[in-house]
Structure 1
């Protein structure tokens, strides 16, 4: 079975993306299991390699067909859209537009079957918007570019997997948006991705919205009974091992203990908080429901240390490994 080609988007060029990409590909580990291809800006990668003192060459290629995929040489589809003097650590419309263009090209390659998966370095939402691309984040942008109506964000950290019903919206809007259908579809997507990953019968915990999962109407306005209970019952009727609504604090404790394979979080911070406490440097973000495989680091652009060479590549390496694991084989 051939090693899958993974298109790696460089992320916001003013952030740590170029550095963590170079650091990850300076290691032979990924080349042993896959074929990495960077979609980015060759000048910026060379600059990052100098900053990180990485012993790699940056080779410009037109596409995967011209890549060598050899350790010591980073193959780059060079969009040549980043000024040489672009400062690190600052929001920039140019950088935001470049990050968008990297993703756009990677999606074209993936949808066209020329790469098996996409792995993304972080972008900056403010810069993305300044560049004229008004999306809440990578997840929504990828859904738009692939024509996908609904996707889910799944975070995978050491000892814990979390899928989100909602992500980049405010709490009031979150309560309004959630309904039983959306919760059920999220449970289904989580169940499918675990089955594809080899989990024979996924055990799924479904969080409530309110403290103590509403405690029979004591907190909130019975959102759990209206929006979550019917979804869990429908999932169980189809043979899915789903439990809930559970108080979030209990659900995450039990999942980390090993009682569950996946937690369904209702909103962004409910799911992100526990994952990042457990291991932000090793966490991976997987977009579930796209027609292409996409994984990502589970951290931001870290403008405060961008351009210093201090950024760690552990999350990027893990995201690349999971992209390889999930990608189809020829």
Structure 2
């Protein structure tokens, strides 16, 4: 089943363009269609700078994209000259990055594309450009009218979702409640079933406190919030268990027994995920009406334009976007 994947440029002063071009140069598209959302000057610049020999075609409109080749659709402001300075954080680059995301989102919403892969953005740069957002996930949720969504990190069979995302650790306990836990687990269950094709997903839920609260000695969230949520979920027919102490759960490789893991906060989930994934892994937003994946790393301004960027996570993101799109279409068709 051939898919059309649009790819946002990311911050053009970061490693986004490099990993996109490297991935598309080495990975065969076969019958799939890839369209980079970027000014052609950016593609020309990085192909020349990094000596990447890649055939690409500028197209005037998305319906001109052709399968099995690299298409480039300019979605920047044509009246503004594109300034490219690898390694430099700038308001202009932040604006370009978000224009590409907005373009890709609109194409996916109207069915002109099947999924979007977003290259890394600089949160500081996009905020300077007037987009006051904590990240891609929240921006896409807001602009699709999605109230319930889940940030998931995926690397083969390891899938970690986050109950809370980009908030201070001091704000995490107050942000958690029984309803939030239930909603996040239900979203993960639905996504594992529909997007990943798992018939009966097994989900582990981590505790918030050290030793999962140790019976209330080190905190009450496990007893008062997480455990009651798990009881309700079991009654709803969802296979979810916990709360598990995070250190022992990952240290003893209990994750091998589950299809998905819900962590309570950002670093609780991402530190072990990145350690186990050795630099690979994909960011996927579950619950959106569109499919969006992203490499699990940032702009890496320190190595931008030097040819040192590893495209493996981006390749994973591209492959996962295709697979999720196929699975979601199969589920919709019955």
* TM-score, structure 2 as length reference: 0.93
Query: 1:172, 1:23 → 2: CA distance?
Result: 40
Secondary structure of 1:189's match?
helix
Secondary structure of 2:257's match?
coil
| Contact 1:160/1:256, CA 8 A, preserved across alignment | no
Once superposed, what is the RMSD of the aligned Cα atoms?
A: 1.7
Secondary structure of 1:26's match?
helix
Residue 18 in 1 paired to residue 14 in 2?
no
| Contact 1:10/1:120, CA 8 A, preserved across alignment | yes
- 1:280 Cα deviation from its structure 2 partner: 4.9
Q: How does 1:242-321 map to 2 (within 5 A)?
A: 242-253=240-251, 258-321=256-319
Query: 2:218, 2:161 → 1: CA distance?
Result: 24
Residue 77 in 1 paired to residue 76 in 2?
no
Where do 4+ consecutive residues of structure 1 move more than 4 Å? 81-84, 254-257
Instruction: State the aligned residue count.
Output: 325
Q: How does 1:150-299 map to 2 (within 5 A)?
A: 150-196=148-194, 197-220=196-219, 222-253=220-251, 258-299=256-297
- 1:258 Cα deviation from its structure 2 partner: 1.7
Secondary structure of 1:327's match?
helix
Query: 1:83, 1:233 → 2: CA distance?
Result: 58
Change (3 A) 1:253 1:159: farther
Cα deviation 1:125-158 (Å, max 9, x = unaligned)? 0001011001000100111221212311000124
Change (3 A) 1:254 1:114: farther
Deviates more, 1:39-48 or 1:288-297: 39-48
| Contact 2:161/2:260, CA 8 A, preserved across alignment | yes
| Contact 2:30/2:67, CA 8 A, preserved across alignment | no
Deviates more, 1:133-142 or 1:50-59: 50-59
| Contact 1:179/1:227, CA 8 A, preserved across alignment | yes
* TM-score, structure 1 as length reference: 0.94
What residue in structure 2 maps to residue 327 of structure 1?
325
The one of 100, 107, 110 aligned to 1:109: 107
Show structure 2 runs of 5+ residues with no match: none
Deviates more, 1:74-83 or 1:278-287: 74-83
- 1:85 Cα deviation from its structure 2 partner: 3.8
Query: 2:93, 2:308 → 1: CA distance?
Result: 20
Query: 1:179, 1:134 → 2: CA distance?
Result: 26
Deviates more, 1:62-71 or 1:124-133: 62-71
| Contact 2:144/2:288, CA 8 A, preserved across alignment | yes
Secondary structure of 1:36's match?
strand
Query: 1:280, 1:319 → 2: CA distance?
Result: 15
The one of 115, 119, 122 aligned to 2:120: 122
Q: How does 1:19-34 map to 2 (within 5 A)?
A: 19-29=18-28, 31-32=29-30, 34=32
Secondary structure of 1:175's match?
helix
- 1:255 Cα deviation from its structure 2 partner: 5.1
